[in-house]
Amino acid sequence: MEAYRITEWYERYEVSYKGGAADPDDKLKAGKLSFVRLKVHGHSMGAGFRRMKKVAGFEKAFEVFGFFCYLLEIAGNSKAGLRGWLLNEKGVPATDDDLAFILDAPIEQVTFALQTLIAKEVSWIELVLFPETPRNSAKLPDSRCKQYILAFGSESWELDALDPHVLTDLIKQHVAGYTNPDKIEEKEIEQESQREILTKISINWDKVAKFLD
Return the HEC string of 121-163.
CCCCEEEEECCCCCEEECCCCCCCHHHHHHHHCCEEECHHHCC
Q: How far is Cα 162 from Cα 24, in angstroms, rounded to an integer?
A: 20
Specify the DSSP class assigned to residue 30.
S
Note whether residue 188 is domain-resident: no
Name 36's Cβ contacts closer than 8 Å, sequence gap at least 6: 13, 14, 15, 72, 73, 75, 76
| Residue 77: half-sphere exposure toward Cβ, Cα within 13 Å | 14
Name the band, by pLDDT with cuts 50, 70 and 90, for residue 104. very high
* Residue 58: pLDDT over 70: yes
Note whether residue 67 is domain-resident: yes
Task: Return phi, psi of residue 4, to 5°.
Answer: -80, 140
Note whether residue 11 is domain-resident: yes
Q: Mean of the pLDDT values across residues 121-146?
A: 71
- Total domains in the fold of the chain: 1
Note whether residue 169 is domain-resident: no
Lowest mean pLDDT among 33-42, 96-105, 120-129: 33-42
Confidence at residue 79, expressed as pLDDT on a 0 to 100 scale: 80
Note whether residue 190 is domain-resident: no
Q: How far is CA 11 from CA 121, 192, 199, in A?
A: 19, 22, 27
Note whether residue 50 is domain-resident: yes
More confident residue, 172 or 138: 172
Q: Which of 100, 122, 134 is nearest to 8 (CA)?
A: 122
Q: How far is Cα 152 from Cα 174, in angstroms, rounded to an integer?
A: 17
Task: Please answer whether residues 7 and 126 qualify as being in contact, where contact means their C-beta atoms are separated by less than 8 angstroms.
Answer: yes
Domain, as residue range, for 60? 1-128
Q: How far is Cα 185 from Cα 9, in angstroms, rounded to an integer?
A: 21
* Tally of residues, the chain: 213
Note whether residue 106 is domain-resident: yes
Confidence at residue 131, expressed as pLDDT on a 0 to 100 scale: 72
How are the residues of the chain apportioned to helix, strand and coil, as percentages rounded to the nearest 5?
50, 10, 40
Q: Which of 117, 29, 27 is nearest to 71 (CA)?
A: 117
Rounded to 10 degrees, what is the CA torsion of 72, 76, 78, 82? Answer: 80
Note whether residue 55 is domain-resident: yes
Task: Please answer whether residues 72 and 6 qualify as being in contact, where contact means their C-beta atoms are separated by less than 8 angstroms.
Answer: yes
More confident residue, 164 or 52: 52
What proportion of the chain, given as a percentage, has pLDDT over 70? 79
Q: How far is Cα 87 from Cα 126, in angstroms, rounded to an integer?
A: 14
